[in-house]
Amino acid sequence: MDQLVVEGGRTKVHGVEIELAREGKGKPMLILHGGSGPQPGAPYVKALAKSFDVLVPGHPGFGTSPLPAHFDHIDDLAYFYLDLMDALDLRDVRLMGFSLGGWLAMEIAVKSTARIAKLILVDSVGIKVGGPTDRDIVDIFATAPDQLAKLMFHDPSKAPDPAKFTDEQALIAGRNREAMAVYGWEPYLHDPKLKGRLHRIDVPTLVVWGASDRVVTPSYGRALAGFIPGAKFVAIEAAGHGPNMEQPQKFVELVGGFAA
């Protein structure tokens, strides 16, 4: 039984307020977004909600969710979501994370999989696979927006145009960028200790990648999958850093089949 009150698409856990969209029926699927923020209305979410109880929260600091003064590390988010799953009494969760959200999903899973049945990582960051001077992940803060779009998308024409943002959309995009810096600036988008803890993940894991991702390449994804016991790696063609957005039908078929 849910112990939290979700009103107006928002809820609060131990004093930390977030936006939270929820729809569908079935086993719970908790979707942890990446740097672009939550997308509860995306076609892939609507499609998955036909088979699962889909929960799409906005991480504290992203979207319209306030950033608590004491949140400054990925661990703060990981423990928050462990608390959220407890408060909602979610069981057999299909935990899916995108990019930063994939990193977050791994941080949660190495702490506890008591409520997690399956783990899905999509173009995830979070570990260092190369040497100390190797650039594993493109510096999104130092790359011009038009160039970043070419690296993130198989078809850059599908990238959102910041020049067409409303004032509200521009504000949210700015908040998302600021929150990314809070959680992932130093060390850059990884936890030096996480790689050595991935052996603790003891649930079936699917690692999904856009074959055309040039922000975090498929070779990074294959290496990441190799550190998680039994993890399966699958690349989706004609997709970049967001295969869920560029190839939603293929993505839903793949993820839905695994999650079921």
Which class does domain 10-259 fall in? alpha beta
pLDDT in tens, 225-252: 999 999 999 999 999 999 999 999 999 9
Average pLDDT of the segment spanning 207-223 = 98
User: Positive or negative, the Cα torsion across 43, 87, 13, 77?
Assistant: negative
Q: What would the 3-class secondary structure string for 106-167 be?
A: HHHHHHCCCCEEEEEEECCCECCCCCCCCCCCCCCCCCCHHHHHHHHCCCHHHCCCHHHCCH
Q: What is the pLDDT of residue 33?
A: 98
Spell out the domain ranges in the chain: 10-259
Pick the residue with more confidence: 61 or 7? 61
